[in-house]
Structure 1
Amino acid sequence: MDADFLLIRKMKQGEDKAFDLFVHKYYKEILTYCNYHCPNKEYAEDLTQETFVRFFAKLSDFHYRGKTKNYLYTISGNLCRDFYKKVKEIPVEAMELTEKTEPMEHQMTDVVNKLTLEWALKQLPDEFHEVLILYYFQELKLKEIADALKISLPLVKYRLKQARKQLERLLGEEEIYESGSKTCEL
């Protein structure tokens, strides 16, 4: 039997430890996903917590089909879109700068690169933006992205290809962005 199936069954029976294990299992991934959608760490944390609150609120209606993580991504994706409908733009001052003890010039370069990439990603249509984040930053496989977004595999491939082209056009010269084990060459 699948570990998620057992956890969900235990949560439905009201076992507190199962809830803790479930959150511990998925919290980091959902937080990372929300961080790519939100310019502020606190907002991302709030959206991550709200993802789990909503999942648990609908737990009695949830039917396990082996796609728990995809369902959490769907909830958090909807929350992030709702967040941007409410808050059009957050001032740059509200963005958290790195607290590393690196030279100021290096920090500024990192901030400029992050802002440039965030700007370019926001210029993309939502469907392209979403595929890029799931592929490069969440490191999901194409099939997992198709399942999470409830679209066909060829459509995922098309969106990823088009998103790369548009990012290349927006960012100009070829640049390389690394995230985990995948490299995004534009």
Structure 2
Amino acid sequence: MYNDFLLIRKMKQGDDNAFDLFVHKYYQEILSYCHHHCFDKTYAEDLTQETFIRFFTRLPDYHYKGKTLNYLYTIAGNLCKDYLKKTKEILLEENESLEGNQAEENQTEQILNRVLIEQVLGQLPDESREVLTLYYFQELKLTEISGKLQIGLPLVKYRLQKARKQLKELLGKEELHESERKD
């Protein structure tokens, strides 16, 4: 399969096959990311499609730097944040008219927690957010993250450790409770 540099060059030249290969290469990862951030599969598919549309719209100005997937994650992340903000606003309006319904309060609390997590992740540096997202949300192993980001395994471990520390500080907790995974 082509590497990203060649695919992007061919896409800029108008090669339809290169567009298809590019979407095929990254669609499932971006869909999984979007589905994790919004609860509705249909919206996740829409957000995934919008991610690729925005990428292709900006393609003429895009300069390949070896991190195309990261750029796609950034676009998808921004779209998911916008979706969550709209969902939060709608749910808050609904809850004002339907106060007292415990099920809706739980759903609102889940969404607000998700929004809080998104806000905290948004405060992290890109490389920390990227490693946390791949490790916890995409459930990739450290070696897989190393390959995706094209960095060494020790650097992945360092960034993950640093990101956890930054999360603890941002959340204001003494301990970040997590279930330990073995890679």
Q: Which residue of 1 aligns with 2:21?
A: 21
Partner Cα distance (2:73, 2:59) in 1: 15
Decide which structure has greater helix share: 2
Equivalences for residues 33-112 of structure 1 within 5 A: 33-88=33-88
1:6 and 2:6 aligned: yes
Could you list the per-position Cα deviations for residues 95-115 of structure 1 after superposition, in whole angstroms to 9, with x for gaps in the alignment? xxxxxxxxxxxxxxxxxxxxx
1:127-174 deviations in Å (ceiling 9; x for gaps): 47955332223223499499xxxxxx9675333245479699787xx7
Residues 7 and 22 in structure 1, CA contact (< 8 A), matched pair in contact too = yes
Superposed CA deviations along residues 16-69 of structure 1, whole A, max 9, x for unmatched, are 111000000000011111111111111111110000000000111111111111
Where has structure 1 moved over 6 Å in runs of 4 or more?
A: 116-119, 164-171
Q: Which runs of 5+ in 2 are unaligned?
A: 92-108, 152-156
**Structure 1: segments with no counterpart, 5+ residues:** 92-115, 147-152, 177-182
Report the TM-score, using the length of structure 2 for normalisation.
Answer: 0.62
Total equivalences in the alignment:
147
Contact 2:47 2:80 survives alignment (8 Å) = yes
Residues in 2 aligned to 1:31 and 1:121: alpha-carbon distance in whole angstroms: 18
Measured in 2, the distance between the counterparts of 1:9 and 1:142 equals 22
CA contact 1:30–1:73 (8 Å) conserved in 2:
yes
Note the aligned Cα RMSD (angstroms). Answer: 3.9
- Larger fraction in strand: 1
Mapped partners of 2:146, 2:6: distance in 1: 25
Q: Which residue of 2 aligns with 1:126?
A: 121
